[in-house]
């Protein structure tokens, strides 16, 4: 897993945890944490997908040689 995807996944877990804690305490500020979790999730998927595409392109380039 690429480092950026790993860091985004860590932020995702922390944001979800913060959202749960906020909602349990009755604080509506947890909505912001949910939005942050969504952004972190999208970033993680982006970097994972980009890494897969880069590896596939490198493999295709290696096969053509």
pLDDT in tens, 7-63: 999 999 999 999 999 999 999 999 999 999 999 999 999 999 999 999 999 999 989
Instruction: Give residues with Cβ within 8 angstroms of 43, minimum separation 6.
Output: 4, 5, 8
Indicate the domain borders of the chain: 3-64
Check residue 26 and report its DSSP letter: T
pLDDT tens profile 18-29: 999 999 999 999
The answer to whether the CB of 8 falls within 8 A of the CB of 44 is: yes
The torsion angle over the Cα atoms of residues 39, 40, 43 and 45, rounded to 10 degrees, is: -110
> How close are the terminal C-alpha atoms of the chain, in Å?
27
8 Å CB contact between 45 and 34: no
């Amino acid at each position: 897993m690429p480092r950026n995807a790993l860091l985004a996944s860590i932020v995702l877990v922390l944001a979800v945890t913060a959202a749960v804690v906020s909602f349990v305490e009755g604080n509506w500020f947890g909505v912001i944490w949910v939005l942050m979790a969504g952004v972190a999730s999208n970033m993680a998927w982006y970097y994972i997908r980009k890494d897969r595409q880069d590896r596939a392109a490198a493999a295709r380039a290696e096969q053509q040689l």
